[in-house]
Amino acid sequence: MRILAVAGSLQSRSGNLELLSTAAAAAPEGVLVVLFDGVRDLPLFNPDLEPEGATPPPAVQAWRDALRASDGVLIASPEYGHSLPGALKNAIDWVIGSGELHQKPVAITAAVPSTARGRLGLAALRDTLLAVDARIVGGEPIARGPAFAAQAAALLEALVARAREPA
């Protein structure tokens, strides 16, 4: 099974990237977690960049191919301005019409200093993913601390279980 890990933050040393790495380290046997680091490379969504029947820009094609090749997606994203980061929203916009997230299991979380944080961003991410008909798993922030690794592993396990269910 292949899980695509996507950080909503573009920072090279973000807590959300750490969360994805922690989850990947706990992947059960037979589950490969692959980090997609191309969100930063996507052009701003513009249908004119992909006229009907044309090949999309290379970064968009890479994003779509990575999603198609995955059985599920694990997104860890910060909250920016009570919403999701613009780069992550842009990435999702690029697959609204092409359908790579349709009925795809997608686990969402945020690495936070306390569980009181990140909820508005996760709600916005959930709403955006529901627009593409993704099958949402999780949705709670994970606070850095003693339970961080166990909670990241549990979310990955829940995603794997959902990915094994028929759509």
Domain count, the chain: 1
User: Could you list the pLDDT tens digit for every one of the 167 residues in the chain?
Assistant: 999 999 999 998 899 999 999 999 999 999 999 999 999 999 999 999 998 889 999 999 999 999 999 999 999 999 999 999 999 999 999 999 999 999 999 999 999 999 889 999 999 999 999 999 999 999 999 999 999 999 999 999 999 999 999 87
CA 82, CA 164: separation in Å to the nearest integer? 33
Is 66:101 a contact under the CB 8 Å cutoff? Answer: no
Name the residue range of residue 76's domain. 2-48+55-164
CATH of the domain at 141: 3.40.50.360
Per-residue pLDDT at 76? 98
CA 142, CA 134: separation in Å to the nearest integer? 21
